Each structure stands twice: as C-alpha cells, then as structure tokens.
Chains A and B, each alone.
Chain A
C-alpha cells in the first residue's frame, strides 16, 4: 500500500479516506486499494464493517495472492465475525508469508498449533 494511503487510513477520517480510495480506483481497483479499503472498514469495526472488510481483503488477495497483510486483515475480520476456521486459515497464510512480522507472536495466539502445522 502506498505510504500516503496507509497514513491517511490511520487518521480515522473515514469519509475522507473512502473518498480518496474511490478516487484512486477511477482507473481500476488494485490489490493495494482493496487492502486499504479493508483496513478502513476493519479498523472502524462496526459488525457490518467487518463483513465488508473481509470481502475487500478477499478482492485484494484475488489480485495479489502473495499480499501478506491482506491475509492478516482477512483473518482478523473473519475471526471477529465468528468465522473462526476460515479466519485461522487466513492468519496461518499470513504467518507463512511474513514469519518475521512484528506481530507474529500475537497472531500465533489466535491460530491453534494444529492449524499452523497443516
């Protein structure tokens, strides 16, 4: 995700961030844009937002199956909406793609060892 977009999303300006993402998607949606939209909705965190976020992360993964952070967001969104098994599988993929992630230790607490060993 471009740094400026990453920073924008963390400003908690939902309307402004959504406008920016939509404007940038005028020439077509890319994996970083879908990911950014997923982050925006997941971090707002209303129940409906989490369902939308999971869809947006899935779109990012379709375009870039190696995008580790999209699996992280997808996994967290799914776990939070009660889709535990699907969420844990997504988090396992995140860990396999980015084993040195700063939050790898915390993510592992959400994934049972048998899922990691699959």
Chain B
C-alpha cells in the first residue's frame, strides 16, 4: 500500500516536472534578420540578434522578449492598446484596478500611466521617472522615457520605453533590466531593435 502510494507520488511528481519543463521551454525563437509581427498587432520588428519570445503574456495586446531571461532583460511590446483598457491584464479588477489608457491620455502622460500600472501590478513601492523627451516612434511623434523601479524581488531595475499614440491606440516598447551591469550591457540591443519597429498601414 505504502509502496503503491510512493510510486504513484513519484509518477505524479515526474509528470509535474515534465509539464513544468515543457511550459518553461514554450517560447519561440525570433531569428535575427527576419521581420516578425509582435503582440498580435500590426507592429513588427526585425531583430539584429536572436531573441526569445516568451509564451506568457502580461496582457491581451502584449508580447515579451528576452535575451537571457526576463529577470535579466525584458522587452515588452504593447501592440495597440485601445481606449479604456489597462496596459496589462488586471489580476483583481475589484480590489486592485489598473489605470486605463483613455481617449484623453496625452503622450506626456504615458510615463505616468506606466508608473501607476507598475505600482499596482508589480507592487512597486518605488518608481521614479528619470526623463521624458519627445521622440519619433513608428514614424509618429511620440515619447522616449527612462525610469527606475524596485518591485517584490527588491532588485532595482532601470527601464527605457518608446511610445506613440496612433489612430487612438497606444503602441509602446519597454526595456527593463537590473540597473547594475545588465541594463548597460543590453540597452543598445534594445535601441537597435526599436529602430526596426514598423507599423503596417
């Protein structure tokens, strides 16, 4: 009886491990030089390096890429967030509602929108916008901004984002990495990637 229980437990554990392992590997390789549509949208990029596209999405109109793991470098594409929608999926609409992108949101307010989203979604008690400057993105006037935040793992991350509001939808690409070492190491890979971003008309 005991033996059967142990055997059964072992099979269950092994199955769980296999499933976990399968889930962990369920990303897609984005091959350098190949143009690819991102976040299920009309936005596309042509990476100069091989990137991993993670299977887990933080929101309906998003896609996340990484080079070395999302904890070390995280590129998230927001592919046309419509009016009255949050940037990411709400975990608890009633008790932790997220701010919405609205028809009155101005490009200068997009950094605030990300900050307010992270303070709830990532439980980030510390978030600071470091700069916000006008910049062209997807061929339109937009914003480039930098920020720092600390979330539950107590590691300070630095971020840089480019965003534009086009035909009533918010398009944005964010890059985040630990401030020490990792941000500086891969920020140029992100900037090169952003330069290839296009919007299919």
B105 near A102: Cβ-Cβ < 8 Å: no
A12 near B97: Cβ-Cβ < 8 Å: yes
B131 near A102: Cβ-Cβ < 8 Å: yes
Partner of B143, one of A7, A11, A47, A106: A106
B108 near A43: Cβ-Cβ < 8 Å: no
Taking CB atoms, residues of chain B closer than 8 Å to A65 are none
Partner of A79, one of B106, B120, B125: B106
A45 near B104: Cβ-Cβ < 8 Å: yes
A50 near B104: Cβ-Cβ < 8 Å: yes
Interface residues of A in 90-114 (CB under 8 A from B): 102-103, 105-110
Segment at the interface with A among B13-21, B36-44, B111-119: B111-119
Partner of B130, one of A50, A102, A108, A109: A102
Interface bracket on B: 20 to 34
Taking CB atoms, residues of chain A closer than 8 Å to B98 are 12
Partner of A106, one of B97, B105, B108, B127: B108
B106 near A12: Cβ-Cβ < 8 Å: no
What is the CA–CA distance of A103 and B127 in the complex, to the nearest angstrom?
15
Given contacts A7-B119, A10-B115, A102-B131, contact A110 B102 (CB under 8 A): no
Q: B153 near A: Cβ within 8 Å?
A: no
Q: B109 near A: Cβ within 8 Å?
A: yes
CB-based A-B contact count at 8 angstroms: 61
A76 near B109: Cβ-Cβ < 8 Å: yes
Q: How far is the CB of B163 from chain A (nearest CB, A)?
A: 11
A12 near B104: Cβ-Cβ < 8 Å: no
What is the CA–CA distance of A76 and B132 in the complex, to the nearest angstrom?
15
Q: How far is the CB of A80 from chain B (nearest CB, A)?
A: 5
A106 near B133: Cβ-Cβ < 8 Å: yes
Taking CB atoms, residues of chain B closer than 8 Å to A103 are 108, 111, 129, 131-132
Q: How far is the CB of B87 from chain A (nearest CB, A)?
A: 12
What is the CA–CA distance of A3 and B44 in the complex, to the nearest angstrom?
40
Closest to A9 in B: B116
Q: How far is the CB of A57 from chain B (nearest CB, A)?
A: 15
Q: B134 near A: Cβ within 8 Å?
A: yes
Q: B99 near A: Cβ within 8 Å?
A: yes
Can you spell out 17 A-B residue pairs with CB atoms less than 8 angstroms apart?
A11-B120, A12-B96, A12-B116, A13-B97, A43-B112, A45-B104, A45-B105, A76-B108, A76-B109, A80-B104, A80-B106, A102-B129, A103-B132, A106-B133, A106-B143, A107-B108, A109-B108
In order of increasing CB-CB distance, the 7 nearest A-B pairs are A105-B133, A103-B132, A106-B108, A106-B132, A45-B102, A80-B104, A10-B116
